[in-house]
Structure 1
């Protein structure tokens, strides 16, 4: 059903005249007549009867009027549900327990008035495509990995460099170390199931292996973090990398160790990506929040791949308030 025709019908019913309805809608009287006639053909009945004073509703028109008003109210609610500033801000993070989710939790604590819809899209192309189509407003990625070019209509900025730590079981050869150098990790098996070939984090760990001669194994099915922690606790020969801010909980009997990696410290670079024309006002607030919380990038004694975007400040947007109220 043509909603413009329905809107015109309601305008005529309220005005009582085709000419006045045309003036109220800023269209011609001929256009009003054509819209009403089309609606009458679609319904198979007459809605108005000509009268000396203008147009009067027929019995069928009177029956249809409350439903027509409800149709217009439903249409307005539908539009409002996706209007920027009315719908939740949709942001993609790669894992619910990683640094990216931590950034969004911090944002939510600082701005509880902003509705959020946090999603998890693993694949780079899927996430960037969702940003470009408007399915999501922003995504956190380590751009731009080799073979993963960033489209010109997508903007990006580094927001966090996440230091990696070594996670081992209690019987691992390095379990007693207070810190461990990258060189000392050579020859040890670092198990990371779930690395997707061709992903930006896959490219990151490929470069880490090439740079320092490490052994990273992505073999076996990925049963999630709980299964990974169980295996590390039971297998002295295996360790894994995890981000310093990553929140994991394991049984006390596991005795797992989180060990800082030094000389250099590998950091996983997180960037925020968004469409340059995205009008959602809460996106501007998120960018301003990340700008205020940003820390130094590429600090002395750290390592990251050469293809990572260079550090740059997250400039707060000019409209940084709403209209109303990982990797490693």
Structure 2
């Protein structure tokens, strides 16, 4: 029996949603195809990857270990398919600032790919808060930034959004709200709430809470995403955070579920920023072109037709 990417993709999809039926819907295939792929993979590896129960599929220790390898396999394949030949003609340095969330959950993978695309460009990286990034762009300390674009405030800062990550409700496994056909902020307001503060997440949250004329029952305000993850997974409360920072498991190995809310909650938008009147250098053009190719190429192609 051969090892296939299909098996890995179906395994990852099931691990992330915790149910074969939901994985099949996400993949637009039959449940039997997902079941067969997982069984084939378990046979090849000689271990059980999931504990099966009426409530769904829970990863075993071997399954959690293999999940990390599966993510690496899929990233490597995606990288091989997307990366063009290196452009060694562009040389120079580029000072790039990024906020905490962007630096921790988005940039590392792209930094490695950028080094392959443009080996002649030296990137100087700075992790800063939004106000410091805006000031640095205006004063010429930073050439460009990768930020949460909705947070930007200075009118002299230009921005281009690359993608938007939906904010969903985070719940511990088997929480009563996960059994409801729909959940809104009124339901969430009755639960103990963990409020993330980093990258002005609390200010964003309070805006959509205020617009709903409701208030969360906050039991903890923290700048640590991992603290939120662990507290939710261990049943201390719930949170509303973006898919960008979501991982299905806490550090303790407990599962975290997510639900889309039926009330309007703005997504978290990530993109590039620069001083509006700045003339782009060749390294700046290359940096922007990489991200445009990675995230906007289908949109740009469609707009030209």
- Which TM bucket (shorter chain)? 0.5 to 0.7
CA RMSD after TM alignment: 3.8
Residue deviations 1:10-30 (CA, integer Å, cap 9, x gap): xxxxxxxxxxxxxxxxxxxxx
Is the Cα contact below 8 Å between 1:193 and 1:217 reproduced in 2?
no
Q: Aligned-pair distance for 1:128?
A: 0.5
Distance, in Å, in 2 between the alignment partners of 1:288 and 1:278 is 15
Is the Cα contact below 8 Å between 2:196 and 2:222 reproduced in 1?
yes
CA shift in 2, pair 1:183/1:121, >3 Å: same
Q: How many residues align?
A: 207
Q: Aligned-pair distance for 1:202?
A: 4.0
Q: Does 1:150 align with 2:154?
A: yes
Q: Does 1:127 align with 2:133?
A: yes
> TM-score, normalized by length of structure 2?
0.54
Residue deviations 1:27-81 (CA, integer Å, cap 9, x gap): xxxxxxxxxxxxxxxxxxxxxxxxxxxxxxxxxxxxxxxxxxxxxxxxxxxxxxx
Q: Does 1:115 align with 2:122?
A: yes
Distance, in Å, in 2 between the alignment partners of 1:256 and 1:250 is 7
Correspondence for 1:239: 238
Q: How does 1:193-212 map to 2 (within 5 A)?
A: 193-195=196-198, 199=200, 201-212=201-212
Correspondence for 2:191: 188
Distance, in Å, in 1 between the alignment partners of 2:267 and 2:98 is 21
2:107 counterpart SS class: helix
Q: Aligned-pair distance for 1:171?
A: 5.3
**Uncovered stretches (5+) of structure 1, i.e. residues with no partner:** 1-83, 297-311, 314-328
2:160 counterpart SS class: strand
Distance, in Å, in 2 between the alignment partners of 1:185 and 1:220 is 15
Q: If you compute each CA radius of gyration, which structure gives the higher value, 1 or 2?
A: 1
Q: Aligned-pair distance for 1:177?
A: 5.8
Is the Cα contact below 8 Å between 1:167 and 1:240 reproduced in 2?
yes
Structure 1 runs (4+) greater than 6 angstroms displaced: none
- Bigger relative contact order, structure 1 or 2, given CA contacts below 8 A and separation 6+? 1
Q: Aligned-pair distance for 1:159?
A: 2.1
Residue deviations 1:226-260 (CA, integer Å, cap 9, x gap): 33222223335x11122112254524642221333
CA shift in 2, pair 1:235/1:137, >3 Å: same
Is the Cα contact below 8 Å between 1:177 and 1:259 reproduced in 2?
no
**Uncovered stretches (5+) of structure 2, i.e. residues with no partner:** 1-89, 301-305
